[in-house]
């Protein structure tokens, strides 16, 4: 009885409303992009703090953070390019 209730609760949750595997993958990609932008913002703030306190590797950290933001911004174009190859 418990398993039936748990299965029903899982089926009624909003996360399982995706109709197909593609819809699930698109939803996951949207959430991953949001998390990525949050981490990129944290990286930029950390690199700025490194610049303010005068650490030696501040330039490298800023470059890495900016490259991460650049790749995140281009990720939809990269994905569509790869899908176009198939």
Q: What is the C-alpha to C-alpha distance for residues 53 and 61, in angstroms, rounded to an integer? A: 13
pLDDT (0 to 100) of residue 84: 84
Phi, psi for residue 57 in degrees, rounded to 5: -95, 20
Residue 67 has pLDDT above 80, yes or no: yes
pLDDT (0 to 100) of residue 9: 63
Residue 71 has pLDDT above 70, yes or no: yes
Query: Residue 56 carries which DSSP code?
Result: T
- pTM, 2 dp: 0.61
Kindly list the domain boundaries of the chain, sorted by start residue.
Answer: 20-85
Residue 52 has pLDDT above 90, yes or no: yes
């Amino acid at each position: 009885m418990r398993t039936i209730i748990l299965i029903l609760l899982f089926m009624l949750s909003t996360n399982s409303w995706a109709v197909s595997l593609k819809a699930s993958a698109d939803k996951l990609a949207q959430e991953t992009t949001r998390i990525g932008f949050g981490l990129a913002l944290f990286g930029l703030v950390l690199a700025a703090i490194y610049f303010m306190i005068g650490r030696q590797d501040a330039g490298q950290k800023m470059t890495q953070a900016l490259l991460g933001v650049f790749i995140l911004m281009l990720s939809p174009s990269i994905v569509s390019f790869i899908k176009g190859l198939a």
